[in-house]
Structure 1
Amino acid sequence: MRPETLPERLVFWSLVATWPVYCIGGLYVLGPVLAWILAGFAMLSLYLGPAIRLDLRATGPVPWLIWGWVIGMAVMLIALWVGHLNWAMGIKTTIKSTIGWAKGWALMCLFPLAGAVLPLRRQILVRAYCILGAVTLTLAPLLLIAPFIGLPERIFTSPLKAVGGPGPEYFTVFLYTIDPGSGQPRWQFFAPWSPFAALLGVIMVLFALEEKNRRWAMAGVAAGVLMILASKSRMGLVGLVFCTTLPRLAPFIFRGFAWSVLAGLTTLAGLFVIPLQNAIFGTLDAFRSARADSSRVRATLQRIAYERWQEDAVWFGHGRVQPGPHLVEYMPIGSHHTWFGLLFVKGVVGVAAFAVPFACHALVTVYDAAQSRRGALPLGILLTLVLLSFGENLEIQTYLIWPALIMLGIHCREMQAQTPA
């Protein structure tokens, strides 16, 4: 399994080189640069058609789902400009925020566009992710033992932070961090913080389950599970269970006996509704109390963002996140939640610009996963993005989830061409 075309070589080696690039603090730079290069190749191939070199030639027209993402992210940019104009933020701030859009939300359409148009095979991405998993397992002993032998939490902050970004943690090389609530070490691997690393671990497991070589598959699954467990993230554990199993249950949607079994289970559940209710609420309470301070801060941030959105800027939002009070430990209002963040920053228009293409993509993918095995990985990715959206701001995490976004584009191309599963 070797990359054969220029796009495949760019994607393969960029993913395999994740750890070396992380060690120089360059991942936040790599993601957007790769996105615009690949998108440039895609647009060039569409424009030149058969006149372009063979290994860049478009595999077909742009699927309608990809057009939905392109239009949605363009509307997102318009919402940003209007929000800045409404709040008189000035040209300098507007330009800076537009660059932020080009490094964030724009990637939500650029990477799928590249996957849908350029000659990229899904198995190349799968193998590259498994190799990344093997490298992660190789480095794991050093990372896991670091806090117990006196090694520092962080190695250094890269001078690449001069290019600008959400914060210095995106350019900092960590060995581990100490949870301020429990005082215990947590690991974030090549992510800026631990909960995000856990969901990257879920994505790694999803890719590894597609690998046909058993050894590479085992390496990818083991590394993904390690990332989830070492990050000590509740959301990661939820993702490991649901994002890997639900896509594989999708084929039962169109089978009559599955609905009969579901009806029987529903009837049985009705007989034990009170114990089930108590068990569910008990599980939710235990989930929240596992890191009570974190849950409190997140809930307060969401409430403030929602109230400020209702009172001040319903349609186009506030234009950008704003510093939070001491009550939320000075966390920015509009952070730590994609949906509340969109409401606060870009209003109803921004939410619709993301929700409409996402919902369309999810519905089509659920249908394809029920019909074909090729839909299992894309559906798992979309489920992971749903989880990620409830705990992170997706737009500032696209620089690390780019292989998943490319896979969504590849899947759109496969559906359009009716490639056999």
Structure 2
Amino acid sequence: METGKITVSLAEERIVWGVLIYTYPIYLLGTTYVVGSLLGWLVFAVFMLRWFVDGKRTYSTTPIISHVWTVSMIGMLIVLWIGHADWNLGLGKTIKSSIGWMKGWALIPLFIWLGAVTEIKKEVIIRGACVVGYHSAIFGLVTFVIYLTGFSGELYLSPLKAVGGPGDSFFDVSLYGMNPETGGGRWSFFTPWAPAAGLFACLLLLICVQEEDESWRIKGIIGCAVMCLLCQSRAGWAVFLFLVPFIMAKRFVSEPWFFIVVGVAIPLVLSVGLPLIEYVLNSYEEVKASRPASTRVRQTLANIALQRWQAEAWFFGHGVVEPGPITVEGMPIGSHHTWYGLLFVKGFIGLLCLAIPLFLSVVALAVRSIVDKSAYLSLGMLIVLIGYSFFENLEILTNLIWPALFMIGASLNPRKSVTTQ
């Protein structure tokens, strides 16, 4: 099948291409969470079937970092079992949590491995991302007009909620939501909540800028900007603005003077660090004051998670999230923050299971960036994920961020990268 200049031929490519270009129909049918959770395992099964039938693999080796991710996430599962055993949570909860691991943490190494090893072309993911961005711009424009008419935006709660998931928001189908603090419209697009749309917009931007076709590249970038603007996420706006100069610097990353400038700039920044930090903190306090209720809930959840982790379950955590008190509006302890969530649910060992492969991946992509500009942009995706890990729980969003994970995996394999001339 020809799609412009993009050839979509393999079964694995057809699957990921179809999921990308039909993102909004999938969402309006209420199947986003289910499709996203099954996608990686389906592509993995098709690839393994092809390997079995053909009797050979395209790539003789898999990047070491991919193995580190796999081992670390298996370690996350073992820590989960230990936590359940320590707190006598029972076989039923252990099985349920293990299935949750398959739909969350396990998808991270799976998509990275698929990106590194399969024959799915990066161009297919890139063009598909531009299509998602283009459709997002149309969706945002149409629904904004509907919003002006006074329609509530709520459609329905998908019956697929019965299969289980992190919460109703993953199965809630709506055109847009309402900001309870301002009373205005706030768009989450096809994501479970508005800040997640900001995260996806930032990741999508780093993929769309790699599109070679100028028309599709512009459509994709405009869609990313629309998503980030309408989601009204404070973190999304900040990260999106940071990515603009980051992307512009891509053309210089292979130049020796680039690292000289960075080497000179770092001491200069450090020398004026105190006033800069004070300025950033003052700005941050002003932003927090604009949405005090949200900030208060997040901070209280963080404090409770840290206190209970230190006092009750330092090494292996509590095994599961727990409902919070009325002071946090019943929000689960361990939500809204990847690292606090890991400490509370899986303890310090669980935190290491994520921190180690993340750190090694950043180092590996930083080295690859010298000769491969796509690796530089994948490094940017990792930086975005790390930044957002302090605002979101990445585990429950892996069914959405998989295109970025795929691109990161492809960049980690030198045999799938394009060397900068």
Do these two structures clear the TM 0.5 threshold for a shared fold by scoring above it?
A: yes
Q: Does structure 1 residue 420 correspond to structure 2 residue 390?
A: no
For the residues of structure 2 that align with 1:25 and 1:273, how far apart are their CA atoms? 48
| 1:45–1:277 CA distance, 2 compared to 1 (3 A) | same
| Pair 212,310 (structure 1): closer, same or farther in 2 beyond 3 Å | same
1:338–1:253 distance in 2 versus 1, CA, 3 Å = farther
TM-score for the superposition, normalised by structure 1:
0.92
For 2:303 and 2:243, how far apart are their aligned partners in 1? 28
What is the alpha-carbon distance in structure 1 between the residues aligned to residue 45 and residue 328 of structure 2?
41
> Offset at 1:152?
2.3
Summarize the Cα distance change of 1:265–1:359 in structure 2 as closer, same or farther, 3 Å threshold: closer
**Which deviates the most, 394-403 or 234-243?**
234-243
State the identity as a percent.
36
Confirm or deny: 8 A CA contact 2:410 2:416 kept in the other structure.
no
Tell me, yes or no, if the aligned pair for 2:126 and 2:210 is still in contact at 8 Å: yes
Name the counterpart of 1:240: 240
Please say if 1:38 is aligned against 2:43: yes
For residues 269 and 37 of structure 2, what CA distance do their matches in structure 1 show?
51
Q: Which residue of 2 aligns with 1:329?
A: 329
Query: Alpha-carbon deviation of 1:378?
Result: 0.8
Indicate if the aligned counterparts of 1:42 and 1:117 stay in contact, CA closer than 8 A: no
Distance in structure 1 (CA, Å) of the matches to 2:155 and 2:288: 32
Are 1:364 and 2:368 an aligned pair?
A: no
Aligned counterpart, 2:7: 2
Letter of the structure 2 residue corresponding to residue 380 of structure 1: G
Equivalents in 1 of 2:343, 2:10: separation in Å?
Answer: 41
Who is 1:206 aligned against? 206
Q: Deviations over 1:169-189 (max 9, x none)?
A: 101111111111111211111
In structure 2, which of residues 33, 38, 44 is the aligned counterpart of residue 28 of structure 1?
33
Q: How does 1:301-320 map to 2 (within 5 A)?
A: 301-320=301-320
Distance (Å, rounded) in 1 between the aligned partners of 2:162 and 2:269: 60
Paired residue secondary structure (1:110): helix
Question: Which residue of structure 1 aligns with residue 3 of structure 2?
Answer: none
Letter in 2 for 1:400: L
Question: What does residue 83 of structure 2 align with?
Answer: 83
Q: Deviations over 1:65-105 (max 9, x none)?
A: 11011101100100111100100000111111111111111
CA contact (8 A) 2:336 2:391 kept: yes
Unaligned runs of 5+ in 1: none
2:62 partner SS? coil
How far apart, in 1, do the equivalents of 2:71 and 2:392 lie?
23
State the distance in 2 between where 1:329 and 1:385 align. Answer: 27
How many Å apart are 1:282 and its aligned residue?
2.2
Taking a change above 3 Å as real, the CA distance of residues 95 and 408 of structure 1, as seen in their structure-2 partners, is same
Kindly indicate whether the alpha-carbon contact (under 8 Å) linking 2:410 and 2:417 is maintained by their aligned counterparts in 1: no
Once residues 254 and 126 of structure 2 are traced to their aligned partners in structure 1, the CA distance between those partners, rounded to angstroms, is 27
Equivalent position amino acid for 1:408 in 2: I
Quote the residue 1:15 is aligned against.
20
Instruction: Summarize the alignment of residues 258-337 of structure 1 with structure 2, pairs less than 5 Å apart.
Output: 259=260, 263=264, 266-267=267-268, 270=271, 276-337=276-337
Alpha-carbon distance in structure 1 between the residues aligned to 2:309 and 2:269? 43
Inter-CA distance 279–107: structure 2 relative to 1 (3 Å threshold): same
Contact 1:45 1:58 survives alignment (8 Å): no
Q: Mind listing any 5+ residue stretches in structure 2 that lack a counterpart?
A: 1-5
For 1:385-404, what per-residue CA distance to the aligned partner results, in whole angstroms no more than 9, with x for missing partners? 11221111111000111111
Corresponding position of 2:100: 100
Counterpart of 1:51 in structure 2 is 55
Change (3 A) 1:74 1:282: same
Is 1:162 aligned with 2:162? yes
CA 1:331/1:253 → structure 2, altered by over 3 Å: closer, same or farther? farther
Do the aligned partners of residues 408 and 186 (structure 1) sit closer, same or farther apart at CA in structure 2, a change above 3 Å counting?
Answer: same
- The one-letter code matched in structure 2 to 1:259 is I
Aligned-pair CA distance for 1:232: 0.8
- Give, in whole Å, the separation in 1 of the partners of 2:267 and 2:139: 47
Distance 1:294 1:40, change over 3 A: same
User: What are the Cα deviations for residues 356-410 of structure 1, in whole angstroms up to 9, with x where unaligned?
Assistant: 1111011111121233212122112101111221111111000111111111121
Which whole-Å CA distance do the structure 2 matches of 1:36 and 1:393 have between them? 21
User: How far does the alpha carbon of each residue in 1:252-308 deviate from its partner, in whole angstroms, 9 at most, with x for none?
Assistant: 5973575357637855984x6775454333222223223222112111111110110
Shift in CA distance, 3/331, structure 1 to aligned 2, threshold 3 Å: same
Contact 1:42–1:118 (Cα < 8 Å) also in 2: yes
Task: Tell me how far 1:124 sits from its aligned partner.
Answer: 0.8
Q: CA RMSD in A?
A: 2.2
CA contact (8 A) 2:177 2:187 kept: yes
AA aligned opposite 2:365: T
Question: Offset at 1:340?
Answer: 0.5
CA contact (8 A) 1:70 1:109 kept: yes
Q: Which amino acid aligns with 2:370?
A: A
CA 1:158/1:269 → structure 2, altered by over 3 Å: closer, same or farther? closer
SS of structure 1 residue aligned to 2:323? coil
Q: CA deviation at 1:49?
A: 7.9
Q: 1:338 to 1:3 in 2, by over 3 A?
A: same
Hey, what's the Cα distance between the residues in 2 that align with 1:35 and 1:145?
36
State the match for 1:136 in structure 2. Answer: 136
- Classify 1:278/1:73 alpha carbon distance in 2 versus 1 (closer, same or farther; 3 Å): closer
* TM-score w.r.t. length of structure 2: 0.92
Matched to 2:221, the amino acid is V
Match of 2:322, SS state, is coil
> More deviation in 232-241 or 275-284?
275-284
> 1 CA distance for matches of 2:364 and 2:163?
38
Distance 1:257 1:62, change over 3 A: closer
Alignment: residue pair count:
414
Worse-matched range after superposition: 146-155 or 180-189: 146-155
Cα distance change, pair 252–207 in 1 and its aligned pair in 2 (3 A): closer
Q: Is the 8 A contact 1:243 1:383 kept in 2?
A: no
Q: Which secondary structure does the structure 1 equivalent of 2:333 belong to?
A: coil
